[in-house]
């Protein structure tokens, strides 16, 4: 099998010849993107696509192989994997009550909520905008966990599904902290990144790694919080209710956006904080390696992180309901979701995508994993078309080889 290097003037890296379409699509995406990105594909434990291109910042510095990008909700897949490490050791039980590990959590009717319900987004705790005063609150771990301990579920836990777009991170992260005794950002390093030899998998970003970070493009969240923006959202909501649509813009905004969000995204303190549903700083090779570990039944390169049994439990579909927040059927696993577009080609694939376009997935049937990180984009709260097209090309490459 041939390996190609120094692909074009637009992208750099290498790929195995059967994945040439992935390289072609990535190159065309970089040509159209005001920013940069990197993509990595692992097949049978081997890195078969390792490409990067574009600009890292407004000064025009080129994207590098080890450039770190803040990956928004893609972070939730890494946070969930931390919980599975504890479950694998017998320290966390998916069907145990959260309050067993975190007694203060039992307030306001939450005493019976289980770990499984939190990991599968069925705990009814997706509301964020109504439990914080300002976006700067998310930089304070104790403030957020105290607020969630006092919060009341939006519905009877276990009876419905609603994407915990940001609250997921503190819920899972506090479980990890209570059980292991260390913050989740340190847990990622000691229990996943270091054993696998990864230097690009962080929640928050250590000071010594910040020279690698690709700044995010400004995102106009403030417009949604202006009087005009609120009026538009209200009008859209009324129209949707009138026609019986399940889409509720207010619910979406409450779960994922908040007053002062745009300010927080450019606040340097975000690098110091742990927001495990949002501020993961990853490079594609490291993020892809974690998912390659999952695709390989819990091990990669001879290093075992999880047992095959735990990986099976973590990746099993937990619900098949339409999500109340994102209004599609996510088929939530324990911290991961289905992979759109490639579900027919790779029915066993699962992962997590994020706002802005980043994402990663694992397919245990083909021992296959893909990760893409970027600093320019938009799309939905759970990815955009770029990663979907790269995923389709990857699926076609593997299917053609079988």
Q: Is 47 helix (H, G, I), strand (E, B) or coil?
A: strand
Q: Which pLDDT band holds residue 219 (cuts at 50, 70, 90)?
A: low
Contact status, residue 81 vs residue 294, Cβ threshold 8 Å: yes
For 252-287, write each residue's pLDDT tens digit. 666 667 777 888 988 999 999 999 999 999 999 999
| pLDDT computed for residue 97 by the predictor | 98
Q: Are 296 and 311 in contact (CB under 8 A)?
A: no
Q: What is the DSSP string of 342-391?
A: STTTSTT-EEEE-TTS-EEEEETTTTEEEEEEESS--SBTTB-HHHHHHH
Is 180 noted as a catalytic residue in this protein?
A: no
Q: End-to-end distance of the chain based on CA atoms, in angstroms?
A: 15
User: Of these residues, 73, 255, 286, 391, which one is catalytic?
Assistant: 73
69-80 residues labelled b (16+ CB within 10 A) or e (exposed): bbbbbbbbbbbb
User: Going by C-beta distance under 8 Å and a sequence separation of 6 or more, which residues neighbour residue 174?
Assistant: 102, 145, 148
Phi and psi at residue 267, in whole multiples of 5°? -75, 125
Q: Which residue has the tokens 């007053």?
A: 259
Helix, strand, coil abundance in the chain, percent, nearest 5: 40, 15, 40
What's the pLDDT at 281? 98
Q: Is the dihedral of CA 12, 13, 19, 22 positive or negative?
A: negative
Q: What local confidence, expressed as pLDDT, does residue 79 receive?
A: 98
Query: In 233-354, at which residue ranges do the beta strands (DSSP E only) sit?
Result: 280-282, 299-300, 303-304, 337-338, 350-353
pLDDT of residue 385: 85
Q: Can you give the residue ranges of every domain in the chain?
A: 222-256
């Amino acid at each position: 099998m041939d390996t190609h290097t120094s692909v074009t003037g637009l992208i750099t890296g290498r790929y195995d010849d059967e994945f040439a379409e992935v390289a072609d699509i990535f190159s065309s995406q970089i040509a159209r993107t005001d920013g940069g990105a990197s993509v990595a594909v692992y097949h049978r434990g081997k890195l078969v696509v390792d490409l990067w291109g574009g600009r890292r910042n407004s000064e025009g510095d080129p994207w590098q192989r080890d450039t770190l990008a803040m990956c928004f909700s893609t972070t939730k897949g890494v946070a969930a994997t931390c919980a599975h490490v504890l479950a694998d050791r017998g320290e966390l039980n998916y069907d145990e009550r959260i309050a067993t590990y975190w007694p203060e959590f039992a307030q306001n009717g939450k005493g019976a909520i289980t770990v499984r319900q939190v990991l599968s987004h069925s705990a009814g705790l997706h509301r964020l905008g109504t439990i914080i005063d300002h976006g700067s609150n998310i930089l304070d771990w104790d403030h957020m966990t105290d607020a969630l301990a006092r919060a009341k579920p939006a519905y009877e836990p276990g009876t419905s599904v609603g994407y915990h777009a940001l609250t997921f991170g503190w819920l899972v992260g506090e479980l990890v902290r209570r059980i292991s005794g260390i913050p989740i950002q340190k847990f990622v390093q000691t229990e996943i990144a270091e054993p696998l030899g990864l230097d690009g998998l962080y929640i928050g970003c250590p000071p010594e790694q910040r020279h690698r970070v690709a700044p995010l493009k400004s995102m106009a969240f403030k417009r949604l919080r202006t009087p005009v923006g609120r009026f538009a959202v209200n009008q859209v909501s009324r129209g949707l209710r009138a026609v019986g649509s399940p889409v509720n813009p207010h619910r979406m905004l409450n779960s994922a956006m908040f007053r002062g969000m745009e300010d927080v995204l450019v606040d340097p303190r975000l690098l110091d904080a742990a927001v495990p549903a949002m501020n993961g700083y990853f490079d594609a090779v490291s993020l892809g390696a974690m998912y390659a570990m999952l695709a390989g039944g819990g091990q990669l390169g001879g290093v075992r992180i999880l047992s095959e049994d735990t990986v099976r439990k973590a990746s099993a579909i937990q619900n098949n309901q339409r999500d109340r927040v994102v209004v599609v059927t996510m088929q939530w696993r324990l911290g991961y979701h289905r992979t759109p577009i490639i579900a027919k080609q790779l029915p066993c694939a699962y992962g997590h995508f994020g706002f802005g376009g980043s994402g990663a997935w694992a397919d245990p049937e083909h021992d296959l994993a893909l990760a893409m990180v970027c600093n320019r984009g938009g799309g939905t709260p759970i990815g955009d078309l770029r990663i979907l097209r790269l995923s389709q090309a990857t699926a076609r490459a593997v299917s053609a080889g079988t």
